[in-house]
A = this chain, B = another copy of it.
Amino acid sequence: MSLLVVGSVAFDSIRTPHGQADEILGGAATYFSVAASWFAPVRVVAVVGEDFGDRHMRVFTDRSIDTAGVERAPGKTFRWRGEYKGDMNEAHTLETHLNVFEQFAPKVPSSYLESEYVFLGNIDPVLQLHDRQQLPRARLVALDSMNYWIAGKHAELLKALAAVDVLVVNDREAKMLSGNANLTRAAAAIRKMGPRILVVKRGEYGANLFTEDSVFSAPGLPLDEVQDPTGAGDTFAGGFMGHLAKTGDLSESNLRRAVIYGSVMASFAVEEFGLGKLLRLNPQLIGERFAEFKNLAHFDA
């Protein structure tokens, strides 16, 4: 089934203990859609500038990602410069130039209106709610957010949360949003705000899924080397939503598998700078890594 993502497209300049890269293609919508494209047909709503060339657009079209919703605006594409140090659990932002993204008013093309699976990337919650209301046929709508909106547009974010099915955030954001430092209580509070499904990303420690019936803990895959964590969260969301859109199955057991597919894709993302590895995957590699997660977490009663 069709999967729609609304979010940023950017050029990232990244430095990590393992190297650096300048002005490489990134952004939430980019990582999400490339990851999800291994599972289901993906449609993107985003904005790029005049400096966004054909070779950048081909990264999407080569993965059969529908770019009818990618608007080209006068000016430059969103740019982000960041650095990771030590254990690389946190990005230190050095420069942000929103450029054309500053005036981003997402336009959902008519050809996207039937989309059943929707991911509202981390943008202004007013826009997230507006987009959500344009998609009445959506069967599952997931939303990402961050500290900036949690603090600065709290009331607007609560309205958007009341209109979605899934919230995907990291553990610090879940604690901040709920005002509760205990993750179990934070999850219960957030589920009362609207999303019946909460996915909490915990970086190298894996991810948790909170639903009405249960809690699921997905492990983090121990990796020999993390090159670049940029985009791991959006890549996770892409694998998660991609698997759900592919299968159309929202059962508890399939939500758990979706969390693992999200973890699988994120584990590939961090092994190389930028989109590197995500563009060279195949179903067999994805299946083998899923099996690695199974072996990592399995024990007999």
Residues of A within 8 A of B (CB): 86-87, 181-185, 187, 202, 205-206, 208, 214-220, 222-226, 253, 256-257, 259-260, 290-291, 294-301
Contacts and interface: CB of A to CB of B under 8 A. Distances in A.
Given A205-B205, A224-B185, A257 B217 contact: no
A86 B172 CA distance: 13
B182 A225 contact: yes
Given A202-B205, A205-B202, A206-B217, A183 B299 contact: no
Contacts of A295: 214
A240 to B, nearest CB: 13
Contact of A182 (B187, B224, B260): B224
B216 A296 contact: yes
A218 to B, nearest CB: 8
Contacts of A256: 298-300
Copies of this chain present = 2
A253 B300 contact: yes
A181 B87 contact: yes
A244 B162 CA distance: 49
Nearest to A88: B181
A294 B299 contact: yes
B215 A299 contact: no
Nearest to A292: B215
Nearest to A300: B253
A220 B297 CA distance: 12
B257 A299 contact: yes
Given A205-B205, A216-B298, 15 more contacts: A182-B224, A182-B225, A184-B222, A187-B222, A202-B205, A215-B222, A216-B296, A217-B297, A218-B299, A256-B300, A259-B299, A260-B299, A291-B301, A294-B301, A297-B297
The 9 closest A-B pairs by CB, nearest first: A217-B219, A256-B299, A205-B205, A184-B222, A217-B296, A297-B297, A184-B224, A294-B301, A253-B300
A19 to B, nearest CB: 16
A218 B218 CA distance: 9
Contacts of A217: 206, 219-220, 222, 296-297
- Most chain B CB within 10 A, of A181, A222, A257, A294, is at A222
A222 B298 CA distance: 18
Contact of A290 (B218, B290, B301): B301
A257 B185 CA distance: 28
B220 A299 contact: no
A69 to B, nearest CB: 33
A298 B182 CA distance: 23
A222 B208 CA distance: 9
Nearest to A297: B297
A296 B215 contact: yes
A265 to B, nearest CB: 16
